[in-house]
Amino acid sequence: MPSWLLPPNLITYVRLVLAPMAANAIVEGRHQQALALVLAAGISDAIDGFLARHFHWKTRIGAYLDPLADKLLLVLVFVSLGIHGSIPWWLIVLFLLRDVWILAMVSYAWQATPIRDFPPRILGKLTTVSQIALALVMLVANAYPSLVPTGIPTVAVLAAAALTVASGVDYTVSALRRYREWARTGSH
């Protein structure tokens, strides 16, 4: 069987389709449906990861598409929440600027240095968790307003913003150290 047809990859393709469906549901005010679609996408992510590891179905296409599907889901959910007025646009811009900045640093490293490994940082992981938590808080608040205590959305926005800035700074400092070490010793 071709690797692109292995079950984890098929599940990832479904997640790529669920992302715009969830975004459309948010924009159209179908909040319970949007929440269900995002939860289905999250569950599918866990399932395809389990299948890939358990049955040794890890593939190159899966290694590229899985994080792409995750990022697409988050970006579309945030943009649609912004369109809906659930989260401020400055926060969406902050999230996107951080990602573009990190991609620019990686691109520079690939083109100008022999550095090829870019291990995840703890603040980067915490940022991702805070962004997912923010998306879920807002989706639940829109779908079932009585379930989310007053103030929780504001705390979620501020936590995600603070961690996004902190992780952007952390990745920058780490990259500069690695570039400086490479320039000084010729190794990474």
pLDDT at 76 > cutoff 90: yes
Tell me how far the alpha carbon of residue 71 is from its chain's centroid: 4
Question: Model pTM?
Answer: 0.90
pLDDT at 28 > cutoff 90: yes
CA distances from residue 49 to 14, 23, 108, 136, 144 in whole angstroms, order as listed: 14, 23, 30, 21, 30
List the structure tokens of 158: 């501020």
Question: What does the pLDDT read at residue 188?
Answer: 52
3-state helix, strand, coil in the chain (%, to 5): 85, 0, 15
pLDDT at 120 > cutoff 60: yes
What stretch of H or E contains 19?
helix 7-27
Question: What does the pLDDT read at residue 1?
Answer: 81
List the structure tokens of 160: 């995600």
pLDDT at 118 > cutoff 90: no
Mean pLDDT rounded to a whole number for the chain: 95
List the structure tokens of 89: 């646009």
Taking residues 51-74, report their average pLDDT. 93
Rg of the chain over all Cα atoms, to the nearest angstrom:
18
Question: What does the pLDDT read at residue 2?
Answer: 87
Taking residues 90-116, report their average pLDDT. 95
Choose among 78, 80, 102: nearest CA to 161.
Answer: 78
Percent of the chain whose pLDDT exceeds 70: 99
pLDDT at 186 > cutoff 90: no
Question: Could you tell me the sign of the dihedral formed by the alpha carbons of 163, 103, 118, 76, in that order?
Answer: positive
Q: In the 8-state DSSP scheme, what is residue 150?
A: T
pLDDT band of residue 117 (cuts 50, 70, 90) is confident
Taking residues 38-56, report their average pLDDT. 94
